[in-house]
Structure 1
Amino acid sequence: MSYLDAINETRAELRELYKAVPGATQGFATLSKAVKDNGPLSLKEKEYVALGMALALRCSPCINFHVEALMKAGATREELGDVLAMAIQMGGGPTLMYAGEALACWDELAAKAAG
């Protein structure tokens, strides 16, 4: 399955979850919006923190979503590489494996965006 397919599949699953438990998911959405819309850090910087957490927690769907969000926030592949290197340094071998996944996701989405 491609990364884009995985992102779309996760979005479809989440839409169903939002219908099943609207109170919890609306609360989470409110929290997410408040965190992203406030504070001294840019959205891109916040997304890099989120990606680092996703790598450390080994959450593939989270990695995919935050890579996509970083692309939309104007991140570059070079910046992504720097963040991945820092995550590898902090997380060791397991993070190395998920960092490879994050980079592959970036490359696939960039190729798709390029046409």
Structure 2
Amino acid sequence: MYDMKKLGNLATINKSAPAATKAFWAFNEAAFADGALDRLTKELIALGVALTTQCPYCIELHTKAAREAGATDAQLSEAAMVAAAIRAGGAVTHATHMFEG
């Protein structure tokens, strides 16, 4: 199912839902523009989210973008571990709902 070539099908989505996709791409561009956070920081956040949602497309694209923004192996590794800690933390804190009290 996962195949980077399938991203070429985004053209069909763009053509079939032009207003929504135009708004999405504009939002995406604005979200990743330099602001209070620089591009590298935003790409590391995106990568952490991608690892948590386990989207292989996003993992590949945002790893590449983070590298292009200057990410080191250490930064990528720490971002991955933060994502893992947050995901595990969700399981632990949701476990509190198993007990009455």
- TM-score by length of structure 1 reads 0.66
- TM-score by length of structure 2 reads 0.74
Q: Which secondary structure state, in structure 2, belongs to the residue aligned with residue 75 of structure 1?
A: coil
Q: Which runs of 5+ in 1 are unaligned?
A: 93-115
Greater relative CO, 1 or 2 (CA 8 Å, sep 6+): 1
Identity of aligned residues (%): 33
**Matched length:** 88
Counterpart of 2:48 (choices 45, 49, 52) is: 52
Which letter does structure 2 place at the counterpart of 1:37? A
Most deviating of 70-79 and 21-30: 70-79
Q: Deviations over 1:3-52 (max 9, x none)?
A: 9xx33x14302122112211111101110111122421001101111111
Give the superposed CA RMSD.
Answer: 2.0
Q: Which runs of 5+ in 2 are unaligned?
A: 89-101
Most deviating of 23-32 and 61-70: 61-70
Q: Which structure has the bigger radius of gyration?
A: 2
| Distance in structure 1 (CA, Å) of the matches to 2:61 and 2:9 | 14
Matched, 1:74 2:86: no
| Distance in structure 2 (CA, Å) of the matches to 1:10 and 1:63 | 15
